[in-house]
Amino acid sequence: MRIAPHHVPGTKEHELAQRIHPAPDYVPVKPWPEDTRVQWGDGIIPAVPFFEAFPPGTFIRGEGKDIAEAEARAFAQYEREGHCDHQWGRQRPGGDLYTNGAGWCRKCRAFRSSMFPPITRLGAHRKPLSTMELHHLESMETDHEMNEWMDRVYPDDRANRDKLKRLLRVRRHLFGVMERKTA
């Protein structure tokens, strides 16, 4: 696994994180693959301990009472995905229908950002950001190491990411952020 540099003492990202929002000390215990980037934290709003993994082309987030439990949940999801003969759909399990090309597996809930061609509709962007879109935008705005890594690994997708970032920013500016649904 590749531990995000803001967790690694001695890096400029770690120094910055210490000043802004220090991440708790933690050592991942699960056998994440070599090409998977990982990061964790206590959460800000809401303050829920989380663990995030970025295997190529996807994103897995676990939450729990502490980071160890969050990592265990994220890894259990990773293993579920590995053993699944996926059935992809545009519906987020228990959530909205996405027309931006994102797909979720109906069986294991795996996520892929570019599973389908996007469906465009007039006025489709006239709506507030979802929590997930907000998280995504914030990571594109603040996580420079992640962006550099994405540019390196997926250079062909750079223009799409830039376009998405502009679109999400405009929507946040004009329509704000959707209220978080209570589970």
**Residue 37 parent element (H or E):** strand 37-41
Smaller CB separation from Zn ion, 90 or 161: 90
**Residue 140 parent element (H or E):** helix 131-142
Smaller CB separation from Zn ion, 74 or 146: 74
CA distances (Å), origin 8, targets 5, 25, 59, 86:
5, 10, 21, 35
For residue 4, the minimal CB distance to Zn ion (Å) is: 26
* Window 39-78: contact mask with Zn ion (x via CB under 5 A): ----------------------------------------
137 is a site residue for Zn ion (CB under 5 A): no
Q: Give the N- to C-terminal CA distance of the chain in Å, as an integer.
A: 31
Secondary structure (3-state) at 134:
helix
115 is a site residue for Zn ion (CB under 5 A): no
Single out the segment in contact with Zn ion by CB under 5 A; choices: 45-53, 79-87, 117-125, 126-134: 79-87
92 is a site residue for Zn ion (CB under 5 A): no
86 is a site residue for Zn ion (CB under 5 A): yes
> d(Cα 96, Cα 130) in Å, to the nearest integer?
10
Contact residues for Zn ion, defined by CB under 5 A: 84, 86, 105, 107-108, 110
